[in-house]
Structure 1
């Protein structure tokens, strides 16, 4: 797919899977880095309360915020031009600014799902340039609870969410199984608009599903409210912050 075709697809559908952005060898190294970081941290489980209705039993997640403060490997990845050039093109801006990062591991056989939602509900912005890049460090077939999307849903703008249980859309109106499963392989990166409705299923496979989320924005796109803070927020990943020179 050409660069212009990628941009058209993203603008039409609100998501884009870039195949092989990293090599499988690189993905494997980052996978080990993720699991090493989590092994050194006090375990926490961020499973949403609403996810219990989807899991069909006890499920769990392992995660950490601000991955680049625990390993320099992730700091290098955040500024890798293979990533930042795609992010810039999809936003239509030369400048890419960090919002936050997260490591997510869905453990084997019981990895928690995420109900359908928009990221915009968690940290709304004024110009809606915010995007997410989900780096896959091992294969993510449907059995592992891959990401599911509703193509074109970003064109509806921000939708009202239910706060209780994790800021999600009504389960009856937005069933997870009706969304498009975006299966991925190690090294693939899924780009999403923060207005795109998405979620993910339970990992029922015998291996964990390991991902890194990098949430980014155009630096001229300001938060609509002071609702989300993270270490390193505002760091420039590509280009400059014009507001700093105004």
Structure 2
């Protein structure tokens, strides 16, 4: 269940987003741009030599053997290419349209590389419990810098799951949804340059990368600046409160 309309058909994108809780925008970046960002991402991770693995403990049982994941918070503070992408109207216009707002504010970003053969999965979850907001006008965009077929552990979503509002998550701290069968979520295979937008109430996850190539994505979490957080979290994220489109009418910035 994807959409292939161009980003210029913003009302159609917003309609599908409202109905299903997500929309896959094809070709938001060109293949050449995506390839350049892939190269930049891998070079950055190699230069920083990060060896921490953010794999959820709850994901360990989703595959045989130990899986691995490379990640980096706040890539825009290490390379200006990511800063330019944050304020690119091709992205921000869609983010505003699907949320039904004019102003778009940054919450945080994460760069992910699922290594080949054993790239870590993510169990099904909502993003809501990690950074709840009063009116739930919070969304995410996953930029695909290389192809993400199902065998690479592409994102999976549960269509319409946002309509039920916040769910009760595992209280252990991993916040996954063990009662939702993983196979109920619909795979969203993507090509390099595609961007998947979804609400922070949409149930989603991803499988193991069993292919012989890495899967490279950049996650941008954003919000309506008029939607106040109910719990202050992720305040360690550099640049939280940065305006990506429009203005902050509250003067609250990163608060």
Q: Normalising TM by the smaller chain, what interval?
A: over 0.9
| Partner residue in 2 for 1:152 | 160
| Partner residue in 2 for 1:6 | 13
In the TM superposition, what is the alpha-carbon distance from 1:57 to its structure 2 partner?
A: 1.4
| Partner residue in 2 for 1:50 | 58
CA distance in 1, matches of 2:84, 2:192: 18
CA distances 1:196-238 after superposition (whole Å, capped 9, x unpaired): 0000000000000000000000000111111221110000000
One of 189, 196, 200 as aligned partner of 2:195: 189
| Partner residue in 1 for 2:81 | 73
CA distance in 1, matches of 2:120, 2:111: 14
| Partner residue in 2 for 1:33 | 40
Q: Report how many residues are paired.
A: 243
* SS of the residue 2:251 aligns to: helix
Report if the CA contact (8 A) 2:21-2:202 is conserved.
yes
CA distance in 2, matches of 1:77, 1:153: 29
Could you state the TM-score of these two structures normalised by the residue count of structure 1?
0.97
> 1:1-246, aligned counterparts within 5 Å?
1=5, 2-41=9-48, 42-164=50-172, 166-170=174-178, 173-229=179-235, 230-244=237-251
In the TM superposition, what is the alpha-carbon distance from 1:165 to its structure 2 partner?
A: 6.0
* SS of the residue 2:250 aligns to: helix
Could you state the TM-score of these two structures normalised by the residue count of structure 2?
0.93
Cα RMSD of the aligned pairs, angstroms, is 1.1
* SS of the residue 1:98 aligns to: strand
